[in-house]
Amino acid sequence: MPSSAAAQPANLDLLRIDDQLTPDERLVRDTVRSYVADRVMPHIADWFEAGTLPRELVPELGKLGLLGMHLTGYGCAGMGAVAYGVTCREMEAADSGLRSLVSVQGSLSMYPIWRYGSDAQKEEWLPRMAAGDAIGCFGLTEPDHGSDPGGMKTYAKPNDKGWVLSGTKMWITNGSIADVAVVWAGTPDGIRGFLVPRGARGFSTRTIHKKMSLRASVTAELHFDEVMLPADAVLPGVTGLKGPLSCLSEARFGIVWGVTGAARACLEAAVEYARTREQFGKPIGGFQLTQSKLAWMLADLTRAQLLALHLGRLKEAGKVAPEQVSLAKMANVRTAIDIARQARTILGANGITLEYPVIRHENNLESVLTYEGTEEIHALAVGQALTGLSAYR
């Protein structure tokens, strides 16, 4: 391979998909890319190893207008779905933990307040959350109820002063650093959402340690021991599982885009490595088996990117249905994890160290495969759309 060719970064957008972005969307892309290159990439391997993500990033993301960026009013940027998707992609090209923070803040915490909250709740929380001065979390999963949240045990009992909330939520992103928890609980009328501020008496959190995935992200257990909440702590606009499911549909859309960033970063690392690592007297990228791997990785990545863009434009046209999001989440996460695993093989032993981004992405994607609906649950949603038959039970 001539050295001038090796010096050029590989073009991973062979089909010029980003040409389809509007100038505003390209500006968002470039802004997030340069922020991430400057503030995140130099440190992310260390943060992952240490199991932290510095809180000071949150107001920085707020200043850039990236928190709740697809919402309108209350200090939110009011951008389109594709701009939000591109942001998720560029964040997750750095780390799924960073994208998770932005998804949980915008789609899982701000969105339910924005969509189902009272004016007072919106005024109280959204401007601070958009600015990154307050962090939110979304408590749906419980120790015994993951894929089947409808069976939740957390319960809010009404009384003459308001509500008494009891129960436990598990695996909650941002749980122990959040200023407000959006908690879904059973009530006599069905499942409802509650805003529980940090410091409420009887509300405690415990950070979950020893994770091998999404280490640059805080994950916690939330415990509610007869927490007294005022009557206006409930989100007035929704009752039933459709409340949390609508939030998850928003966040899953971000995952569809985000994982293409993680996959792109893995492919970039694999191409770069293949061009420079020599075995048997030549770069391993010069072997046909390696080129075949790289070519298929690019083909798969390209398909995933097209799927994300198509879903984004559908969403902007107001035409997205949950089973479409399920199809895209299921397909793109699987594609991304396969690309990460293939990239890992090209890096050989170096593929298992944090000196390169690949194993970090690969491990992170194991969480992304499971959270916000496992691959199997999304397959059931698509299966039901195809057959008209529910196979959940």
CA distance 175 to 219: 6
Q: Is 25 a catalytic residue?
A: no
Beta carbon of residue 115, minimum distance to ligand FAD (angstroms, whole number): 17
Beta carbon of residue 384, minimum distance to ligand FAD (angstroms, whole number): 11
Q: Which of 335/364 has CB closer to ligand FAD?
A: 364
Beta carbon of residue 220, minimum distance to ligand FAD (angstroms, whole number): 9
Ordered DSSP codes for 91-143: HHHH-HHHHHHHHIIIIIIIHHHHHH--HHHHHHHHHHHHHTSS-EEEE--BT
Question: Which residue is at the shortest CB distance from ligand FAD?
Answer: 146
Q: Which of 145/313 has CB closer to ligand FAD?
A: 145
CA distance 71 to 290: 44
189, with CB counted inside 10 A (0-12, 13-18, 19+), is: exposed
Q: Which of 101/307 has CB closer to ligand FAD?
A: 101
**Using CB under 6 A as the criterion, which residues of the chain lie in contact with ligand FAD when the complex forms?**
104, 138-141, 146-147, 171-173, 214, 219, 367, 370-372, 374, 376-377, 392
Catalytic residue selected from 355, 372, 375, 376: 372
Beta carbon of residue 368, minimum distance to ligand FAD (angstroms, whole number): 8
Which residues, 6 or more positions from 64, have their beta carbon under 8 angstroms from its beta carbon? Answer: 31, 32, 35
CA distance 282 to 237: 64
Q: Which of 41/377 has CB closer to ligand FAD?
A: 377
Q: Which of 294/336 has CB closer to ligand FAD?
A: 336
Distances in Å between the alpha carbon of 140 and those of 31, 76, 156, 170?
33, 25, 14, 8
CA distance 327 to 383: 10
Residue 159 near residue 233, CB atoms below 8 Å: no
Q: What is the distance, to the nearest Å, from the Cα of residue 297 to the centroid of all Cα atoms in its chain?
A: 22
CA distance 20 to 302: 13
Beta carbon of residue 57, minimum distance to ligand FAD (angstroms, whole number): 18
Q: Supply the residues annotated as catalytic.
A: 372
